[in-house]
Amino acid sequence: MKDKKKRIKTKILIKIFLLIFFSNLNFIAIGTSKSTIFTNNLEMGTQIIKVSYYNEQAWKNSVTNATDPREWFGGQADKVGAKYKLTIIDKKYNENVSSNYIFLNFVFPEKAHELFPNVSKYGYGYYLFNNYTYQYLVWRYYFYYWNFTTGEFNVFQNSTYYSDMLVSSFIIQDPLDYKKMLVDYNDFAGKINNDTTLQSLNISFPILTGDDLVWQFIISRIAVAAPINDYLTTMIEVLNCTNTTVRGNTLIFKKHGVQNYTVEVTYGRYGTVSSFIIKDLDNHIIYKIESFYPSDLFLLIIGIIIAILTAIIIYITLRKRKQLNLHKLSIEELKLK
């Protein structure tokens, strides 16, 4: 009888153990899986981006002595304290964008942009339009921007000029599409590079790696979808990046200039770049850009005011309660006398 009870208890314990094990296994699988459903997390409003640190000599020693941060960011991006303003005014939920548009506006590296008018004369403008017809599903957004400046941001007085400053960009809805983008661009570049006529004119397009394409989008300041970590991870995986990794919401690039250096690009909660940091081999900062949202400062001020008022009310309430208790105590003492 005792042996039977022991066997029953053992079976129950085994079942409980297996139940806990498979429950935890399922939990772990859920916790480590990446999302395949992405959302547009952009919000209307203004973001201020500021150059908070720049070591010019360290830049020349590690990055390049031929150019400075203006080459990447424009304006006065080489001045500490210079600010860049981005104001998003509208976003669209779904839109199809052609390969032709993607290539000409975002994928082509600088050299390809410079050479494209020449290759177009030989029919490659039509070739690009007619042979790469994939439509990318995107979220388009519209914004105004003010380039890096140490002065005040210009206020547009003329409505026509203001409308001319309206710019659009987009978020690729499915990060798997970056693979298609890279394959098609390199195929197009290969066609140009194998054209004997263009070879005789010393015209060739760069072949891009996955790391190169991601960097192109960083320089173009393309926003990403949420969840950000999953989006970035999927992007670098499908592109087979070898010198780009993801840590949280940060892309980390291993790059080589005069020496090896790293670039850390962090995305904020809305899917836009919130910080950009360059470090040397010894992990010392060479260049740093940070950002903030004026609306956050407003909410912070309101929060501080509310906290102060709440503290004052609590103080007054406790003081009155203490005075009332002292008054009651005085009355009791008089009654005793």
pLDDT tens for the chain, 337 residues long, are: 445 444 544 454 444 444 444 444 443 444 445 667 899 999 999 999 999 999 999 999 999 999 999 999 999 999 999 999 999 998 877 899 999 999 998 899 989 999 999 999 999 999 999 999 999 999 999 998 899 999 988 776 555 555 566 888 999 999 999 999 999 999 999 999 999 999 999 999 999 999 999 999 998 888 999 999 999 999 999 999 999 999 999 999 999 999 999 999 999 999 999 999 999 999 999 999 999 987 554 444 545 555 565 666 665 666 667 666 665 666 665 555 5
Contact 100, 168 (CB under 8 A): no
Cβ contacts of 236 within 8 Å, gap of 6 or more: 210, 214, 244, 245, 246, 251
Please give the single-letter amino acid code of residue 131: N
The pTM (predicted TM-score) of the whole model is 0.76
pLDDT of residue 119: 94
Output DSSP code: residue 94.
Answer: -
CA dihedral for 292, 298, 304, 306, sign (positive or negative):
negative
pLDDT given at position 23: 44
Domains of the chain: which residue ranges?
Answer: 1-33, 45-297
Res 331: pLDDT: 61
The residue type of 329 is L
- Single out the residue of 220, 264, 216, 49 nearest to residue 148, CA to CA: 49
Question: What is the Cα–Cα distance from 176 to 133, expressed in whole angstroms?
Answer: 17
Q: 255 to each of 41, 62, 228, 239, how far by Cα in Å?
A: 30, 10, 23, 17
pLDDT at 257: 94
